[in-house]
Chains A and B, each alone.
Chain A
């Protein structure tokens, strides 16, 4: 049977019924990074802790990727099956803007400032049939 494996360890809590993005926060200056890193890009401190960044945020900017990127892009798509996708930065309550794929792929479905919900989705299938999971944000009604 197929497993669902994260595309990279430590990006988000997985498996989970309510997944969260994971980042790091500096003990010294409290600045946050995504993905988590052992040193702080603000103050250079080597003391950082892994923190949950949340699963909701607001859209800070966006675009639509209309053509299939060359390698290192690695999905199950072909030039024929490629579908445009949204990309944006989402401002997280954890105190950082995270770049992410977005579900909407049409300009009129995206607006700066709209609330966004984290989803963990199958991105491709590996050679043993496991699903490789990544994160994505999609618009959500204000809670």
Chain B
């Protein structure tokens, strides 16, 4: 049984001061239903999650008490990916024909401040100032640059591209393009990463209507197909966030294992992907994820970025809507925003940011604490 995506909805990321996170989730669901031409009462199941904005199944109070199966999913940055995987499995198993996946969030301003106990770590680690995701991404990027000859120029180019793409995206939070020099001269936050190289926690919602592909034509003239949805956790020896120590032994990152599994399940390779979304909590991480997802060799990024390969008109367009850098990261919604954007591109509805030459296959990737990754492959 194949799985189709027949409706997509977004509640614009950024700040919605007059709306709760839950309301932004409901707004995304309504948009996805309208896009599919369906109503809430048509939904047989729902999977949803948020980090800071409440229990997703409470959405029924806004959308209607229809008695559907609604399961809350919380899996860190892979919350959207895990919800999508659950929906994918529900359709694949033949149990259901049509349902919805929703993610939403509303975070306070400033960096995340996770509690050590939630991650199985004693208090001293947070008290002494080592429990920060920004630090981890800086530490990983610093080592990666050292090992693979990546320079600050590449970090700047990733941000430059993100904000340029954001300026072409009506739903993006940050719509102001930034020059190379503005990024290069922005404040150093956590060496080697500067202010305009980090994404910020934000607000927003995203939703997808998923259905049995055999019935997709009943609902939609433009269905897309979810070829695979994969979530993987870390192995011993990979360098992960919130780790008071790491093994000397080196293992593949969870992104590598998730990516390999996704390509294997879909029966295609990185060369078949026309447009992609790679987790860009910061510009260093996007660079690392280009190689970890199999799209280039480690160290090759410097040349690719200089040539503009990851631009909208390049050979491997990455984060065409500006990614997390330009949209911010409402954790529960972020992974589904990636899928939303890939669907927009595959439908050819990207407007000023549309990837040329009729892209047919798209890819999304998230990475998050404490070392997990989600990958989806979507095709026409």
Contact = CB atoms under 8 A, between A and B. Distances in A.
Contacts of A32: 247
Given A61-B139, A66-B189, A98-B245, 17 more contacts: A63-B190, A63-B191, A64-B188, A64-B191, A65-B129, A67-B189, A69-B129, A69-B131, A72-B116, A75-B128, A88-B139, A89-B139, A89-B245, A95-B248, A96-B247, A101-B130, A112-B143
Interface stretch (B69-77, B107-115, B335-343): B107-115
B138 interface: yes
A60 B113 CA distance: 25
B127 A73 contact: yes
Contacts of B249: 31
Contact of A8 (B124, B190, B245, B248): B124
A64 B191 CA distance: 6
5 contacts: A62-B139, A63-B135, A63-B191, A64-B190, A89-B246
A33 B143 CA distance: 21
Nearest to A53: B245
Given A63-B191, A72-B126, A73-B127, A42 B139 contact: no
B92 interface: no
Interface in B120-166: 122-124, 126-132, 135, 138-140, 142-143, 146
Interface string A68-111: 01111111000000000101110100011111110000010000
B238 to A, nearest CB: 12
Nearest to B116: A72
B127 A72 contact: yes
Contacts of A14: none
Contact of B129 (A33, A35, A101, A107): A101
B244 interface: yes
Nearest to B189: A66
Contact of A34 (B111, B131, B187, B244): B244
A62 B192 CA distance: 9
Nearest to B190: A63
A61 B142 contact: yes
A69 B236 contact: no
A72 B112 CA distance: 11
B207 to A, nearest CB: 31
Nearest to B146: A112
Contact of B190 (A65, A95, A112): A65
Given A65-B129, A67-B189, A99-B130, A7 B138 contact: no
Interface of A: 7-8, 11, 23, 31-35, 41-42, 60-67, 69-75, 85, 87-89, 91, 95-101, 107, 112, 123, 134
B177 interface: no
A73 B191 contact: no
Contact of A91 (B122, B124, B131, B248): B248
A74 B113 CA distance: 12
B243 interface: yes
Contacts of B138: 63
Complex A-B, nearest 3 residue pairs according to Cβ-Cβ distance, in ascending order = A72-B126, A34-B245, A61-B143
Given A60-B143, A64-B191, A31 B135 contact: no
B126 A73 contact: yes
A85 B243 CA distance: 18
A100 B189 CA distance: 18
A101 B191 contact: no
A66 to B, nearest CB: 6
B116 A61 contact: no
A31 B247 contact: yes
A79 B127 CA distance: 15
Contacts of A61: 139-140, 142-143, 146
**Interface centre among A8, A63, A74, A91, by most B CB within 10 Å?**
A63
Contacts of A91: 248
Contact of A74 (B122, B127, B143): B127
Contacts of A95: 248
B275 to A, nearest CB: 32
Given A65-B132, A87-B129, A107 B111 contact: no
Contact of A99 (B111, B127, B244): B244
Contacts of A89: 139, 245-246
A126 B43 CA distance: 56
Contact of A97 (B115, B124, B248): B248
A80 to B, nearest CB: 17
Nearest to B192: A63
A98 B244 contact: yes
B188 A66 contact: yes
Contacts of A8: 122-124
Contacts of A35: 122, 244-245
